[in-house]
């Protein structure tokens, strides 16, 4: 029995973007205000889960053809690479570097390698959450 989910599907399409933008905002806000990679990753996966609820697994897999296991691997590599990079410069493991740069459009911005580590955390969280949910959802 396939019901007509026109309201849910249309709303999910719109709300997905709002949730995703909020996730990116919370990811970048993590340095000075509450937020960061973990929360951002969870919010992002919740947006994808909303799509899965509104449509179905096959459709979402065709829309976002991402192998989430690779996403976990990339995230771990990024986190490890950020942490290990300082050893090649002669600093202890996990030393972070930051500086202020004058970017062409954004003006004076502080770039911090902790953001890269956070991106690794973000990717791992998204990958793990989506792997769990897809694996459970696939068991028909």
Q: Which is nearer to another protein, 7 or 136 (CB)?
A: 7
Q: Minimum CB separation from another protein for residue 5, in Å? A: 8
Beta strand extents in the chain (DSSP E only): 98-103, 107-112
Q: Which is nearer to another protein, 9 or 134 (CB)?
A: 9
Distance CA 28, CA 22 (A): 10
Residues near another protein (CB under 8 A): 2-4, 6-7, 9-11
Q: Minimum CB separation from another protein for residue 49, in Å? A: 20
Q: Which is nearer to another protein, 15 or 74 (CB)?
A: 15
With CA atoms as reference, report the closest residue to 74 among 124, 27, 132: 124
Determine the Cα angle at 12 with ends 9 and 16, to 5°. 150
């Amino acid at each position: 029995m396939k019901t007509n989910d026109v309201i849910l599907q249309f709303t999910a399409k719109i709300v997905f973007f709002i949730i995703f933008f909020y996730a990116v905002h919370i990811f970048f806000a993590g340095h000075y205000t509450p937020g960061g990679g973990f929360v951002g990753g969870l919010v992002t996966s919740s947006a994808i889960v909303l799509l899965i609820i509104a449509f179905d697994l096959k459709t979402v897999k065709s829309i976002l053809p991402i192998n989430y296991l690779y996403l976990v691997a990339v995230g771990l590599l990024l986190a490890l690479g950020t942490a290990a990079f300082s050893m090649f410069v002669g600093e202890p493991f996990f030393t972070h570097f930051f500086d202020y740069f004058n970017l062409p459009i954004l003006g004076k911005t502080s770039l911090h390698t902790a953001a890269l580590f956070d991106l690794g955390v973000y990717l791992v969280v998204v990958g793990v959450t989506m792997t769990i949910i897809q694996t459970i959802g696939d068991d028909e």
